């Protein structure tokens, strides 16, 4: 039996520069922006130092709308409190503080980014 895993994610944005500043500040990373014929993408770092699926911020008014409903993307963290401490300063809003899922499954938190997307964090610690 084959297993299914996430291979890619895209987070809709209405202002790419604002979104890049937010995510760079919250995750202490550098997102690179590219324009593909009017579709702007901000690439999250991916490679040897990253775990999980690769993905981007995306600005394409025809096909993408920011939302607090629907699919929820979880970013892995060493401790979600690290990112939570930077969210409001970066212009976001904490929707749910660090909450234990269970002893085996660690912790999670929810936040609203500057673009109106509900996003989650997860850590074992």
Q: Going by C-beta distance under 8 Å and a sequence separation of 6 or more, which residues neighbour residue 109?
A: 80, 83, 84, 94, 96, 97, 98, 99, 120, 121
Tell me what pLDDT residue 52 has. 81
Which pLDDT band, with edges at 50, 70 and 90, does 121 fall under?
A: very high
Which pLDDT band, with edges at 50, 70 and 90, does 114 fall under?
A: very high
Domains of the chain and any CATH numbers? 9-123 (3.10.180.10)
Q: By three-state DSSP, how is residue 21 classified?
A: helix
Tell me what pLDDT residue 33 has. 97
Tell me what pLDDT residue 2 has. 73
Span between the terminal Cα atoms of the chain, in Å: 32
């Amino acid at each position: 039996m084959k297993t299914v895993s996430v291979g890619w994610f895209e987070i809709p944005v209405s202002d790419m520069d604002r979104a890049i500043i937010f995510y760079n500040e919250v995750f202490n990373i550098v997102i690179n922006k590219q324009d593909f014929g009017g579709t702007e993408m901000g690439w999250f770092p991916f490679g040897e130092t990253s775990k999980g699926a690769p993905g981007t911020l995306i600005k394409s008014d025809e096909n993408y709308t920011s939302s607090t409903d629907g699919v929820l993307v979880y970013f892995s963290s060493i401790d979600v409190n690290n990112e939570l401490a930077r969210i409001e300063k970066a212009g976001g809003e904490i929707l749910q503080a660090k909450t234990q899922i269970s002893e085996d499954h660690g912790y999670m938190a929810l936040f609203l980014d500057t673009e109106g997307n509900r996003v989650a964090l997860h850590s074992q610690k």
